[in-house]
């Protein structure tokens, strides 16, 4: 079954470029200044939401359409079908795309956080207490990667727990809070909402010092829309400054409404100190690739240079 699911996932990328009008010819001047970016209900996407709502994209002379998704699979399907120029994503998804013949590039890291959260019935539990318990993940994604890294940090294997595959993040949160799971790995702000509702933190990506979240764009977009991408990142950095310098009360209603977060996120959400756009560390890329190869999910050992492009250096 795992091999069948993986084949279906990879097949999404084989038909890359189909249905994409841009693939049939050069971009028009207006199209060269327009980007469509897929977002997820996580804190990685907030600088983009702020840049749009505060007019920072317009100030830089570009038009950016943000398309929200609730699952990585839906996001990646939209990307390969030509409906997106890029997306808030992760290193694993980039490697999957490349392995499936769909050429994409990492253009920056994001300020994401992923946490293994225990349900109320497991109050006081540790990671090692999860032995044989049901833990919800999204299969072959950043969520499963972080889960495995947390288990390994405690001397456990990925087979130490029973992984329950729940792709949609809101559904994963709901099942955890309803006592149908022992634990779940969630991105922020869903992790903060679960903690606010009485669940407990076991461990997270911050504890391990790993950051596999990135922004990726198609190779065609990188080639044809470099000016727009650089303008997008100037706007992104303005949004980072806004988030770091502005009182939370001034924007929290906006980000909850536009980010697809549950209402409780208004009280529960703990935002990080955001960083200006930067490239991911080489170790984060190589560690993700090694995990994918170990699980036999990809056959090619991509290097940092194979996946990352520098559009940030003046």
Answer yes or no: is pLDDT of 19 > 50: no
Which pLDDT band, with edges at 50, 70 and 90, does 15 fall under? Answer: very low
Please give the CATH number for the structural domain made up of 2-111+211-307: 3.40.190.10
Write down the mean pLDDT value for the chain: 90
Quote the pTM value: 0.85
The 3-class SS string of the chain reads: CHHHHHHHHHHHHHCCCCCCHHHHCCCCHHHHCEEEEEECCCHHHHHHHHHHHCCHHHHCCCEEEEEECCCHHHHHHHHHCCCCCEEEEEHHHHHHHHHCCCCEEEEEECCCCEEEEECHHHCCCCHHHHCCCEEEECCCCHHHHHHHHHHHHCCCCHHHCEEEECCCHHHHHHHHHCCCCCEEEEECCHHHHHHHCCCEEEEEHHHHCCCCEEEEEEHHHHHHCHHHHHHHHHHHHHHHHHHHHCCHHHCHHHHHHHHCCCCCHHHHCCCCCCCCCCCCCHHHHHHHHHHHHHCCCCCCCCCHHHHECCCCCC
- Predicted confidence (pLDDT) at residue 24 exceeds the cutoff of 90: no
When pLDDT is cut at 50, 70 and 90, the band that residue 20 belongs to is very low
Class in CATH terms, 114-208? alpha beta
* Confidence at 27, pLDDT banded by 50, 70, 90: low
CATH topology identical between 2-111+211-307 and 114-208: yes
The pLDDT tens digits of the residues spanning 122-150 come to: 988 999 999 999 999 998 889 999 999 99
- Over residues 78-97, the pLDDT tens digits come to 999 999 999 999 999 999 99
* Domain locations in the chain as residue ranges: 2-111+211-307, 114-208
Mean pLDDT (whole number) for 233-248:
97
Residue 312 binned pLDDT confidence (cut-offs 50, 70, 90): very high
């Amino acid at each position: 079954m795992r091999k069948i699911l993986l084949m279906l996932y990879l097949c999404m990328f084989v038909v890359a470029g189909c249905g994409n009008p841009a693939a049939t010819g050069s971009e028009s001047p207006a199209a060269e200044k327009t980007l469509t970016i897929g977002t997820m209900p996580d804190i990685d996407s907030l600088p983009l939401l702020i840049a749009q709502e505060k007019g920072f994209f317009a100030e830089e002379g570009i038009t950016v359409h943000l398309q929200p998704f609730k699952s990585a699979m839906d996001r990646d399907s939209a990307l390969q079908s030509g409906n997106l120029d890029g997306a808030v994503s992760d290193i694993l998804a980039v490697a999957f795309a490349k392995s499936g013949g769909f050429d994409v590039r990492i253009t920056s890291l994001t300020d994401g956080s992923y946490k293994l959260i225990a349900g109320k019935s497991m109050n006081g539990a540790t990671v090692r207490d999860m032995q044989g318990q049901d833990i919800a993940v999204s299969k072959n994604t950043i969520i499963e990667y972080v889960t495995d890294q947390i288990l390994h940090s405690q001397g456990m294997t990925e087979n130490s727990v029973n992984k329950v595959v729940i792709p949609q993040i809101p559904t994963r949160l709901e099942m955890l809070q309803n006592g149908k799971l022992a634990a779940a790995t969630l991105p922020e702000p869903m992790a903060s909402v679960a903690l606010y509702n009485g669940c407990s933190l076991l461990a997270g990506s911050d504890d391990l010092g790993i950051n596999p979240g990135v922004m990726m764009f198609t190779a065609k977009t990188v080639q044809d829309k470099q000016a727009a991408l650089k303008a997008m990142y100037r706007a992104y950095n303005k949004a980072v400054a806004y988030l770091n310098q502005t009182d939370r009360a001034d924007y929290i209603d906006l980000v909850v409404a536009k980010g697809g977060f549950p209402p409780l996120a208004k009280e529960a959400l703990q935002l990080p100190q955001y960083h200006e756009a930067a490239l991911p560390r080489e170790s984060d890329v190589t560690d993700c690739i090694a995990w994918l190869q170990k699980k036999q999910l990809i056959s090619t050992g991509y290097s940092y240079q194979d996946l990352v492009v520098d559009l940030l250096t003046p």
